[in-house]
Amino acid sequence: MAKAKKTNLIGSWAFLLGVILAIVLGAMGVYSVTVAWILVILGVIVGLLNIAAEETTPFLMSGAVLIIASALGGGVVGIIPVLQGIISSLLLIFVPATIIVAIKNVFVLARR
């Protein structure tokens, strides 16, 4: 039981840190390969540790909507470079997290 709380705590901190980093660095326009990898790794951690079984469907719906809206609305948001940077940075977290959660969900469905 203590282990479950600890992994949830790590996942929660990874999510919070990732979102704050994405917003700050995206707004500042700080882009580098290292920053991108850090955000992607935080997204993987969030996908592995932070999303419980009962949260899978809402997370996948929210993640899919965020990814689709960002892709289709990129031209509109591109007018404001700061906003475009923030959304791009957030996608570096949410795309890997959504993929990990979707794969975990497929394995759960396959076990049934």
Indicate the number of domains in the chain. 1
Predicted TM-score (pTM) of the model is 0.84
Give the model confidence (pLDDT) of 1-24 as tens digits.
Answer: 444 555 577 778 888 888 999 999
Give the model confidence (pLDDT) of 22-81 as tens digits.
Answer: 999 989 987 789 989 999 999 999 899 888 888 899 999 999 998 998 888 877 887 888
State the Cα–Cα distance between residues 11 and 15, nearest whole angstrom. Answer: 6
Lookup result for tokens 């795309």: 95
| pLDDT of amino acid 2 | 43
CA 104 to chain centre: 15
Residues spanned by the domain of 52: 2-111
Closest CA to 86 of 101, 70, 64: 70
